[in-house]
Amino acid sequence: MNIQPTYSSLDYPGKMALVLFIPGCDLRCKYCHNPQLLKNESLSRWDIEEVEEEIDKNVDFIDAIVISGGEALLHIDVVKHYIQKAKEFDLLIKLDTNGLHPENLNQIIDDLDYVAIDIKAPLDKYYKISDVYPNNVKESINKSIDIILNHNVFLECRTTYVPNLLKPEDIQELTRNLRCNIYTLQQFRNRVTYDISLSTYEEPNPEDLVEIINSLDTTIPEIHLKSNQFGNQTIKKE
Ligand code: SF4
């Protein structure tokens, strides 16, 4: 197992969840805080059984599973396996994804209750965050958003704000026509990063992030700020 499942009351809002991490990713975000998950390792039968046992043992204490990564949709068969297990116990199911795999998302969308897509930067500016990215970022993410909204699944979009990599104008641009139920601006943390040079970057000040949120011209109904100092705060709500 690459990363043990963890229990969290923060990853599925208002619910106690078991967060399952699936390895492999097709991006290399400089700030990635799970760099040990980037290698596209396959999960063994033992890994999967271990997770299933964890769900069996603790089902009375959890409301939901969160399937996270890495990029979980690279291992669609494992994702389907976890979904099947969660459905046995009527657990809610949330998927964290980079939004780049709409075909795989389409295979499981009927079983999902909540999807969080990380929007790294304006869709034509992924070079600011990752040296590696597919050339159809815009098309794939828009397709993923269409699939989620057409199935009436709750959609959160999130961006991690690293002052040295992004500017307030980037957040204004990427949120201008973004379609989602909640948008969350996340404070960059410099503890563990894929590109170790980012450990010398300053973490942005929450007040500056609130100022960015207040400058946004968007129809997104609810905007949150997630920071180390104040947790998950609602900054704007219709
Ligand atoms: S932060 Fe980027 S590189 Fe890391 S798992 Fe998420 S999408 Fe992949």
CA 238 to centroid of ligand 1, rounded, Å? 31
What confidence score (pLDDT) does residue 1 get? 47
**Cβ–Cβ < 8 Å for 37, 4:** no
What confidence score (pLDDT) does residue 2 get? 53
CA 32 to centroid of ligand 1, rounded, Å? 5
User: Whats the size of the chain, residue-wise?
Assistant: 238
What confidence score (pLDDT) does residue 63 get? 97
Q: Cis ω on the peptide bond leading into residue 14 (within 30° of 0)? A: no
Distance CA 66, CA 173 (A): 29
Name the residue with the closest Cα to ligand 1, atom 1: 32
From the list 163, 135, 21, 9, the residue with the least C-alpha distance to 82 is 21
Give the CA radius of gyration of the chain: 17
Residue 70 in contact with ligand 1 by CB distance below 6 A: yes
Helix %, strand %, coil % for the chain, to 5? 35, 25, 40
Which ligand 1 atom is at minimum distance from the Cα of 129?
2
Domains in the chain, CATH or no CATH each: 6-237 (3.20.20.70)
Name the residue with the closest Cα to ligand 1, atom 4: 32
* Cβ-based neighbour number of residue 217 at 10 Å: 7
pLDDT digit string, tens, across residues 82-115: 999 999 999 999 999 999 999 999 999 999 999 9
CA 237 to centroid of ligand 1, rounded, Å? 28
Q: Which residues of the chain have pLDDT under 70?
A: 1-2
CA 72 to centroid of ligand 1, rounded, Å? 10
**Cβ–Cβ < 8 Å for 2, 55:** no
